[in-house]
Amino acid sequence: MRIAFSAQTPTVPHRRHWRFCVGSGHALLALRTDYTRQLRFIHDELGIERVRFHGILCDDMRTCNDLSMQMNVPGAEAFGEYNFNACGVAYDNVLAAGMKPFVELSFMPEKLALREENRPLRGMFFYKPVIVPPADEQAWTDYITAFLRFLIHRYGAEEVRTWFFEVWNEPDLPIVFFNGGRDEYYRLYEITARAIKAVDPAIRVGGPATSASKWVASFLAYCRAHDVPVDFVSTHQYAGDPLGGVEDQGDPEADNSRPGDRLTWEERMRPLVEKLAAVEDKTFLSGFQTLSPDKSETTDIAYGIFQRNAARVREQAEGLPVYYTEWNENAIFSAATNDTRKVAAYDVRAALEVAEDVTGSSIWCFSDIFEELHPFPQEFHGGFGMLTQNGIPKPVFHAMKMLADAGDERLDLGADATAGEIGYAAFRKGGDIQVLLFRQKMKNLDLPAEEVTLRIDGFTAGAVTVRRVDETHGNPLAVWQEMGAPLSLNRAEIEAIRAASAVGEEDWAFSAKDGATEVSAALGVNDVYFITMKA
């Protein structure tokens, strides 16, 4: 394959929208020192400005308590308190890492939760969040008011006004995040947004924080019809979503958030029980991965889904800022491909493709210090993070570091440049030309390398260097496997993996003549190359 373009191609700003924010696990983890160290590393290396996590209001943060929770004495429930001190420590740690919080207001304190027959109180996650609406709207309003006043008292109004407040997380997904209907979520958003604005009208609030780019049109229609404040639109998009399905399938406004007449729990579980019975290796991880296969490996997923949906959401937003507060290649926790360069190639392509359609975005997520479903002991267990739980950079970290280091001017090479299996983007940095070259496929197929020749007209390089993510560069999973995949790692082993999988700058062969520069590379599936042509 030959790629050619001119160094004199007009440029557009390199919009690093993914620096706006990054995702992480749930709030309690932000109290850990290793979490804070990794957060600082992500901020310093990639320039990411904010972090978003679930569960700031969950019961493990002990924000809403009564005496009966400790002493089961009749009448003790009348003695209550709000206690946001743990929230303050979490946000102190975020600020100490050089970042700001993107506040996801979730989930419901049990003391405030609606209790109804046939409406499960808690979600499926490891930390068992309460995922129902409030029992009493005024009690919820008072609680949110107290939370905002606590933040303003601790950090000052000017600081809190620089944060963003998002109401809930993926309310379109029952069992997992919200056992309530769409209209119940819209009402929850309304009373929450009004409570926030009553404390300080300058604080930014938005939603609907849905999966797969859903509900945006109807959410904004509700806000307009009821004069509800909304400062931004937020939603999520994964290439292969295990719960909501790929957004191009079905009605984006369908209210699927209540179980209703769908399959019973026993009917849902039957095929999973059969799968588990067929597995011989009965480790926790093997069972988990059997129940949660990587759908992008088994389903043919088209290119460009994120870009098409982001463009549609931008139109629906009608001028409001659009934040994709979660996105990645895969929404399947524990999928082995999460530790491979497949995610690296997808994320750089997606980041480039949606640059003109989003105001800001947040890759899910920065670290495998994460326990939505289980805190696995294995260093490489298919976690979502750019870093392992011990801070070893994965291929996706190295790929995003390439984008971070690219120049502020991006050559306007047109949509076709990133549309195919082999894609590319070019940047100016000082007098140099940088080219990000990748071969991205949704399936990790063992295919022959593809020879690519890159010609830059109007530029005569004096030297060429390459940083690359491939089978032997930026592949800590392979190093760990060569060690025998130890269940736990000591400090020496961690440093050995980091060193063996580091991505450094290499001199690269090139030809410079007749006012042009040519380089070649043999790209394997999901390889990523960052080529710098130095003046």
- Counting beta carbons within 10 angstroms of the beta carbon of residue 266, is it exposed (0 to 12), middle (13 to 18) or buried (19 or more)? exposed
Q: How many domains does the chain have?
A: 1
Catalytic residue among 110, 170, 353, 371: 170
Flag whether 71 is in a domain.
Answer: no
Give CA separation, 378 vs 8, 35, 182, 318, 368, in Å: 49, 17, 38, 45, 10
Give CA separation, 14 vs 19, 404, 427, 428, 459, in Å: 12, 10, 8, 10, 20
Distance CA 141, CA 237 (A): 30
Flag whether 446 is in a domain.
Answer: yes
Distance CA 521, CA 511 (A): 13
Helix (H) or strand (E) run with residue 13 in it: strand 11-13
Helix (H) or strand (E) run with residue 451 in it: strand 450-457
Distance CA 130, CA 176 (A): 10
Report the interhelical angle of 182-199 vs 216-225 (nearest 10°): 60
Q: What is the pLDDT of residue 529?
A: 98
pLDDT tens-place string over residues 186-218: 999 999 999 999 999 999 999 999 999 999 999
pTM assigned to the model: 0.94
pLDDT tens-place string over residues 514-533: 899 999 999 999 999 999 99
353 is catalytic: no
Flag whether 68 is in a domain.
Answer: no
Flag whether 433 is in a domain.
Answer: yes
| Mean pLDDT estimate for the chain | 93
Distance CA 249, CA 211 (A): 13
Flag whether 122 is in a domain.
Answer: no
- For residue 64, the SS3 value is strand
170 is catalytic: yes
pLDDT tens-place string over residues 424-462: 999 999 999 999 999 999 888 889 999 999 999 999 999
Higher-confidence residue of 118 and 413: namely 413
Flag whether 142 is in a domain.
Answer: no
Flag whether 456 is in a domain.
Answer: yes
Catalytic residue among 326, 371, 372, 379: 326
Q: How far apart are the first and last CA of the chain?
A: 25
Tell me the residue range of the domain where 417 lies: 3-9+407-534
Q: What is the pLDDT of residue 257?
A: 60
Give mean pLDDT, residues 310-338: 93
Distance CA 207, CA 190 (A): 10
Flag whether 200 is in a domain.
Answer: no
CATH number of residue 485's parent domain:
2.60.40.1500
